Amino acid sequence: MTAKLPSIALLAALTTAATAQTTPTATTTTPHHTTTAAKTTATPPNIPKVVGFPKPLYTLKYIDTKIGTGAPAAEHKYYTVHYTGWLTNGTKFDSSLDHPGGEPITFPYGAHRVIIGWDTGFQGMHVGGKRRLFVPYQLAYGESGRPPVIPAKADLIFDVELVSMSDTPPQPKTPPAPPAAPGSPQKTLPATPTTPTSPTTPTTPTTQTAPTTQITPTTPTTPSTPTTNPPHPETL
């Protein structure tokens, strides 16, 4: 009996140590539950309380793939943006890089000119930053979609880049000049300097055919005609 006592004492010591190690883990999880309960039950006193936990209906999610170093994104500005959009099955449906010249697009932020996911999805970005947006269909094209490109109830994925931001819309670019090679045969355009040949209006000095009207003084029967001639010095 005396030989078994040390083993029993050792077993009791191990049990005490095990319980001592488990108790701190229980205390660390308790504050987590209490803080969650505090957040969900925080209701202003003038609003009737309800039982339950709030559930999200739909959520816009994002991943910042590059942090910009420019000015922070602000509302009521004009954003110039590069983008590429995919369906959730991986089908690319549009990209600014595929547009003629690969030009970005510009839109007024927060003015409801784009889908809701875009009107809120640039918050917290800086100019030069890039972000991937996961847009639920409720914040995209809704239940109807945009057939045949966007199916009904289509969640969308966008890679966006905030290229620049301004207070005013960009000025329209002047159309490029026509190529010089085809233009050289069309030096018929310098034929417009033939309009200076409209100095054929100096052919109105050919109204000096009016001196041929001096033949009319050969008809002395009309002496009143010389009275009409003096306003034109050429006839003198």
Tokens, residue 101: 């010249």
Q: Do you find a cis peptide bond into 220, omega within 30 degrees of 0?
A: no
CB 145 within 8 A of CB 72: no
Strands 92-95 and 130-135: unpaired
Tell me which of 119, 137, 141, 150 is the catalytic residue: 141
In the residue annotation, 141 being an active-site residue is answered as yes
- All structural domains of the chain: 61-166 (3.10.50.40)
Catalytic (active site) residue 78: no
CA distance linking residue 194 with residue 198, whole number of Å:
7
Gap between the Cα atoms of 167 and 69, Å rounded: 19
Catalytic, out of 78, 83, 107, 134:
83
Is position 53 annotated as part of the catalytic site? no
Residue 107 designated active-site: no
Each residue's pLDDT expressed in tens, for the chain with a length of 236 residues: 444 445 444 444 444 444 444 444 443 333 433 344 444 456 788 899 999 988 889 999 999 999 999 999 999 999 999 999 999 999 999 999 999 999 999 999 999 999 999 999 999 999 999 999 999 999 999 999 999 999 999 999 999 999 999 999 888 777 666 666 555 444 444 445 455 555 455 454 444 444 444 444 444 444 444 444 333 343 32
Query: Rounded to a whole number, what is the largest CA-CA distance in the chain?
Result: 171
Single-letter amino acid, residue 77: K
Residue environment code for 83-108, b if the CB has 16+ CB neighbours within 10 A, otherwise e: bbbeeeeeeeeeebeeeeeeebeeee
Q: Decide if 79 is catalytic.
A: no
Q: List the catalytic residue out of 62, 79, 109, 115.
A: 115
Per the annotation, the verdict on 167 as an active-site residue is no
